[in-house]
Each structure stands twice: as structure tokens, then as C-alpha cells.
Amino acid sequence: MVDGIRRHGRFKTRPYDVDPLDESSLIPRGLRRFRLKEWVGFTLLHPELSSSMILQEAHYLASSEIYVRDKHGMVEHSRNVRGGSLKLPHELFPSAPAIDANGYWIAYDWAEQPNGRHRIRVSVDATAEQAAIKMDLELDGSKASAPLSVSSPLPGGAMYTHKVAYPASGSITVGDRTYSFDSSRDIAILDEHRTFLPYRTNWLWGTFAAITPDGVIGANFAQRPIVPRTEEESCLWTPGACEPLADITFKQASNDPLAPWHITSADGRLDVTFTPEDRKDVMHQLVVASIDYWQLVGTYTGTVAGHEVSGVRGVCESMRARL
């Protein structure tokens, strides 16, 4: 925001303060707050597991989810808490957002500068159906990818997102199994979002990244309704750069829920096949609202701006909702 006017486009770095409610509007701030959806989450990539977590604030309801998927299957936990209680920070560096609710604790600790060392800590108790999850990971901002930072209008809304792929070290324990993260190999991809979603919203989205001797190589890509001639939230991560990307096509090989997906950009710089291994589904059907969501974990093989990738872990998801 500059003097209450929202700026659109791609930014080289994350703006210091990204509160969408600071935009000048004839609609009262309190009413706009209940339309605003905010979340800060991570996708964790390791040769033996995939994991995602999220803290999300809808202001009438706040919630969090986490899963770890390894060769033994998927362990999932979630919590709902009072709307507004998560207080997700609009000034990320430094900050310490967290959820602490009845044996469910997830905390992010951001250093004062983007190139500092950040931390993810998790302690989620076991239930009768699901194993416990413990994490303590350090993210190396000095060796992270260049940031994706985009503000865009949407048909009937507006979006801001910030995404970074961080080398990660530390450990994850799920049940009685512990996995060590090595910052020369393993990655945590940040997904920060501040969005006024249209009532009917849908998207296909995916992300993956790998650490090479030259730096991070990967991609973030989405297919969703956009305002013509505005920026998408798609990019290629190449060593030292975040390259703009647009016009993404997702094509599934069959109607099998675990069938591979072929994902390309119109300019050919992204051409990958995603092979799913497992699927997480969320479906809710209410009178005026609904959610039909899935996220797949698996591997990507193909090319990114001429760089070959093979068996790189990542995720792919679909959202169709009335909110």
C-alpha cells in the first residue's frame, strides 16, 4: 500500500507491511475483514516424506492443519480456534505466529531479516487414530530461493502472495520414526497468502523445489481465473532468480484420483509430469458455502527453464469452493 492505494505487480522483495485492510475503501474495515482469508503455511520436502502445515485465519474462524506422509501412510491432525486469535503478522520479519490448542502446538519464529535463520517448531499429541508429530527445523534464509512476491486483482477480489524455498535442517518425528533434515538436500517452501476471495473460487496449484550445487531450482504454478493482463502467482526458481511465469495448463492422464498430471507453461519453460503417491481430501457442503479440496503428494520429473529435474518431491492441489 502507498497512501491507501494498493499496488499490483511483482516485487523484488516482500513489502514490509502487507495488510490488505489498509487499502482505502468505502466499505468499513470491519466488514472487509470478514471477507479476508489469510494463511501462512509450509510444504516440507525430504526423500522419505512429504509434509504440509498451515495456520489460516478467516476472522470468523481460525484453523490449522498438519500432515506427514511417509512409507507407512499419512498422519493428519487439525484444530479450529476462535476467529482472530492467530493474529497472523503483516510484518513478517521478525514475528512469531503460533497456535497452541489442547495438545496441538505449531510455532513459526522469523528472524529480523529475510536472510536470517528462521524456525518451525511443532508438538502435536497422538490421538486414538493418529500418531504424534514433533518437529524442530531451522530454515536458512541466506541460501533460500529468490522470493515470489505478487499482488494481483482477481475477478471479484484481490490477492497477495509471498513464497520462498528454504534449505531446511533439523528433525521430524512421526510416531516412533525420526527423520533428519539436511540443508544441503531438504527444503521447506513458504506459502503466505492475503486474499479477498471471490464467492465462487477455484484453482489448480502446484509447487516443488530441489537444491543443486548452483542453488535452488523449482517452480510455483497456478491455474485460476485472473484479470487479463495482470500478474499470476506463477514462477520458476532458478539459481539466484525468481523468473515470472504465466499461462499454465494442467492435464491429468485419466480420471483416476492418483493418475499423473502433465503441467506446462505456454512458453515451454515449464514442462513437468507429476506422479502422485497419496491424496488428502477435504469436502464440506453447507447451504451457502462449500469446499471441495484435495492435495496430492508425489514427485515431479521434466524441465524447468532448461534444467532437468527427476523425482523431485512436491505437491499439487485443487480447490473448488463457495465462501
pLDDT band at 210 (very low <50, low <70, confident <90, very high): very high
Residue 286 has pLDDT above 80, yes or no: no
pLDDT at 118: 98
Residue 176 has pLDDT above 80, yes or no: yes
Residue 250 has pLDDT above 60, yes or no: yes
Question: Which contiguous run of DSSP H or E holds residue 159?
Answer: strand 157-174
Burial of 257 (0-12, 13-18, 19+ CB in 10 A): exposed
- Side-chain half-sphere exposure of 180, counting CA atoms within 13 A: 2
pLDDT at 52: 97
pLDDT at 151: 96
pLDDT at 200: 83
* φ/ψ (deg, to 5) at 30: -60, -40
- Residue 179 to residue 143: CA distance in whole angstroms: 22
Summarize pLDDT for 48-78 with one digit per residue, the tens.
999 999 999 988 889 999 999 999 999 999 9
Instruction: Return mean pLDDT, the chain.
Output: 94
pLDDT band at 285 (very low <50, low <70, confident <90, very high): low
Q: How many other β-carbons are positioned within 10 Å of the β-carbon of residue 135?
A: 26
- Residue 120 to residue 97: CA distance in whole angstroms: 10
Report the C-alpha dihedral over residues 121, 277, 221, 244, rounded to 10 degrees: 80
- Residue 161 to residue 20: CA distance in whole angstroms: 11
pLDDT band at 1 (very low <50, low <70, confident <90, very high): low
Burial string for 90-107 (b: 16+ CB within 10 Å, else e) reads: bebbebebbbebeebbbb
Residue 123 has pLDDT above 80, yes or no: yes
- Residue 311 to residue 309: CA distance in whole angstroms: 7
Summarize pLDDT for 8-39 with one digit per residue, the tens.
999 999 999 999 888 888 888 888 888 899 99
Give me the amino acid identity at 167. Answer: P
Summarize pLDDT for 301-318 with one digit per residue, the tens.
999 999 999 999 999 999
Listed in sequence order, the residues at least 6 apart from 268 whose beta carbon sits closer than 8 Å to its beta carbon are none
The whole-number average pLDDT for the span 156-181 is 97
Residue 283 has pLDDT above 80, yes or no: no
- Residue 310 to residue 301: CA distance in whole angstroms: 4
| CA proximity to 93, closest of 119, 69, 75, 73 | 119
pLDDT at 28: 87
Beta-strand pair 200-212/307-322: antiparallel
- Side-chain half-sphere exposure of 193, counting CA atoms within 13 A: 18
> Residue 94 in contact with residue 110, Cβ under 8 Å?
yes
Listed in sequence order, the residues at least 6 apart from 229 whose beta carbon sits closer than 8 Å to its beta carbon are none
Residue 289 has pLDDT above 90, yes or no: no
Burial of 242 (0-12, 13-18, 19+ CB in 10 A): buried
pLDDT at 261: 98
Report the C-alpha dihedral over residues 122, 125, 130, 136, rounded to 10 degrees: 20
More confident residue, 30 or 273: 273
In the block, residue with C-alpha cell 527453464? 305
* DSSP 3-state of 313: strand
The whole-number average pLDDT for the span 103-115 is 97
pLDDT at 56: 95
Summarize pLDDT for 132-168 with one digit per residue, the tens.
999 999 999 999 999 999 999 999 899 999 999 999 9
